[in-house]
Amino acid sequence: MSRAVAAGLVVVLLLLPWVGTGEYPLALLYSTFMYAALAVAWNVIGGFAGYLSFGHATFFGLGGYTTGLFLVRTGLSPFLTAPLGAAVAAGFAALAGYPCLRLRGPYFAVVTMILGLAVRAVILNLPWTGAAEGLWMTLPPWEPLVARRAFYYAMLAVALVTALAGRAVRLGKMGVGLEAIREDEEAAQSIGVPVVRLKMSALILSAGLTGLVGGIYAYDRSYIHPDFMFDLHLSVLAVLMALLGGRQSWAGPILGAVVVRLVDELLTVRVGTEAARIIFGLGLALVIVLLPDGLLPHLERLRRRAPRPPAAVPAAEARL
């Protein structure tokens, strides 16, 4: 995507709430920004470094619980404490990340999944977090439309920060290092890539951004419970969106998030939640079978009008 198009898009999104846009489109866009931020954040460790986390809901939930508890205890607005939520999630990633990142491939995936379930079990048993009753927050006495606008801008800001961070990592030196780790960790280490430091930084950054999203989401929901703040579906959804869009680029997950969010919304509105989940699950399976590299490489190819066999995308082309 060229810079001008991206800048134009951001301006349109910034102005959108003031051209008579109703609550529903704003809410839909809000959740799209949220999904996009989650997917881009996941991609920093899962896509660039190839460490497939299936437990990013852990960081999301930690961020949400941090802002929630701050609001309940001190009255500080989550719009202010969201960065603290990010810090808590990042801190947890720093602690848990070291042992986890010693594991590779399927082991890392499984352990991160278990980690999320473990943190959920802990929160469910800590009385000061509201435990199994959940935590209620009071929203400021805003008009519904005002509240929607506020959350729209908050999540847009989070998504932009996340996208810029993802872009900076991908295009910077760190991205090269992470790519080397993904392709061959031993070889990367032997030529002097600081493997442990890079993996840790990627996980901490990814967790922090995910915590930021969770912090805002919790406030919007105004009631949080471990069951949906640490939901495994959310972890897998982040993976799916990045996978669908294309894991090699920083922008791919955004595309994946937009597609997933819109399809999900359409299905839920048209056929109801249960049937939507069935279709969604099967569609997900189909997408994986048909498009293992994601959408973006195919779109790129279309744009260049240079058809190639749908084999693996060379590393040089992977950079966007």
> Given the rule CB under 8 A, which residues bind other proteins?
50, 52, 54, 99-100, 102-103, 105-107, 109-111, 113-115, 117-118, 121-122, 124-125, 232-233, 236, 239-240, 243, 274-275, 277-285, 288-290, 292-293, 311-312
Tokens of 255: 């595309």
Q: Which is nearer to other proteins, 170 or 247 (CB)?
A: 247
Rounded to the nearest 10 degrees, the angle between the axes of helix 23-43 and helix 144-171 is 20
Residue whose CB is less far from other proteins, 31 or 235:
235
CB of 120 to other proteins, least distance (A): 9
Residue 192 vs 309, nearer CB to other proteins:
309
Of 52 and 213, which CB lies nearer to other proteins in the complex structure? 52
Q: How far is the CB of 299 from other proteins (least distance, A)?
A: 18
Q: How far is the CB of 200 from other proteins (least distance, A)?
A: 16
Comparison of 77 and 277: residue with beta carbon closer to other proteins: 277
Report, in Å, the least distance between residue 264 CB and other proteins.
Answer: 12
CB of 205 to other proteins, least distance (A): 20
What is the nearest approach in angstroms of other proteins to the Cβ of residue 250?
A: 18
CB 296 within 8 A of CB 245: yes
**Residue 88 or 113 having the CB closest to other proteins:** 113
